[in-house]
């Protein structure tokens, strides 16, 4: 039987400065975003739209704010409002873990919409551009959850070869659900990157991201101890599944709209010089 290694959440200490594994996973997520985005802007259908390295660096700043603020507020409001409202100082302690994927998604949507408005980009084009880089970032975040021994899995059959005991929970065999969700992010990245390699109608890549992410999270929730469950019409679903249903619906609607409109190339943004002259 595997036993969770329960590693020290602090990866490195330099005097009073403590660098945590959870923070390093988020740093890795942002680095991979930049690296993949620089590959993506070289794809013919993307290069024709005038994306630049400066756009990537600028979007990263907005994206970090969206992920951190949205993810934390989502954790506070969607999952544990009673605890955080009773202990408001805990809200800022993001290094201890506790980030909501759905909150981060909404935060990034808002941040990218603001960036698109400022840069005169179509917001759907921005979503289509960044979507393939998001799943690997999600995977790194879930790996950070595993290192922190967070999000334990449901009790598993002891004969399951990869069942794992979480000493901070109990001595029962459990599914290593954060690792399942790490794998989920890797698979979604592979599918979405392949899908986005060809020119697609506006909203199609973003819609596929919403659909894959919602479905992936809905499935992996069956193996994770739920934060809480919702009972409706004789059906029981977890909080994560309930929040994933709108994401699945949004993805389906976006794909239908995208392909009903037919091929619609993203807007080509005027050069910086042209924007300056126009101003």
Mean pLDDT of the chain: 89
In a domain, 272, yes or no: no
Question: Domain range holding 247?
Answer: 12-261
Is 142 known to sit in a ligand binding site? Answer: yes
- Nearest Cα neighbor of 169 from 142, 151, 189, 188 is 151
In a domain, 273, yes or no: no
Produce one character per residue of 174-209: b if its CB has 16 or more CB atoms within 10 Å, e if not.
bbbbbbbbbebbeebbebbbebbeeebbbbbbbbbb
In a domain, 227, yes or no: yes
Give the model's pLDDT for residue 93.
Answer: 79
Give the model's pLDDT for residue 269.
Answer: 57
In a domain, 267, yes or no: no
Report pTM.
0.86
Give the model's pLDDT for residue 99.
Answer: 81
**Domains identified in the chain, total number:** 1
State which residues of the chain have pLDDT below 50: 271-279
């Amino acid at each position: 039987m595997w036993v969770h290694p329960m590693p020290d959440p602090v990866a490195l200490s330099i005097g009073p400065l403590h660098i945590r594994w959870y923070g390093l996973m988020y740093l890795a997520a942002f680095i991979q975003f930049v690296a993949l985005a620089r590959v993506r802007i070289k794809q013919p259908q993307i290069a024709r739209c005038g994306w630049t390295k400066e756009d990537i660096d600028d979007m990263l700043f907005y994206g970090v704010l969206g992920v951190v603020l949205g993810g934390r507020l989502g954790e506070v409001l969607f999952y544990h409002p009673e605890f955080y409202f009773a202990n408001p100082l805990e809200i800022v302690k993001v290094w201890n873990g506790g980030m909501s994927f759905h909150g981060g998604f909404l935060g990034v949507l808002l941040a990218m919409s603001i960036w698109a408005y400022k840069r005169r980009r179509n917001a759907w084009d921005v979503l289509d551009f960044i979507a393939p880089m998001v799943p690997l970032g999600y995977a790194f975040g879930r790996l950070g959850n595993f290192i922190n021994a967070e999000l334990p899995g449901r009790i598993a059959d002891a004969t399951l070869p990869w069942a794992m005991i979480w000493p901070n929970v109990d001595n029962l065999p459990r599914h290593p659900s954060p690792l399942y969700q790490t794998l989920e992010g890797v698979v979604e990245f592979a599918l979405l990157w392949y899908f986005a390699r060809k020119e697609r109608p506006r909203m199609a890549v973003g819609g596929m991201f919403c659909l894959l992410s919602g479905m992936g999270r809905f499935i992996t929730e069956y193996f994770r101890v739920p934060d809480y469950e919702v009972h409706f019409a004789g059906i029981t679903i977890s909080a994560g599944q309930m929040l994933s249903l709108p994401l699945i619906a949004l993805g389906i609607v976006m794909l239908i709209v995208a392909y009903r409109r037919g091929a619609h190339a993203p807007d080509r943004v005027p050069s910086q010089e042209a924007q300056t002259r126009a101003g």
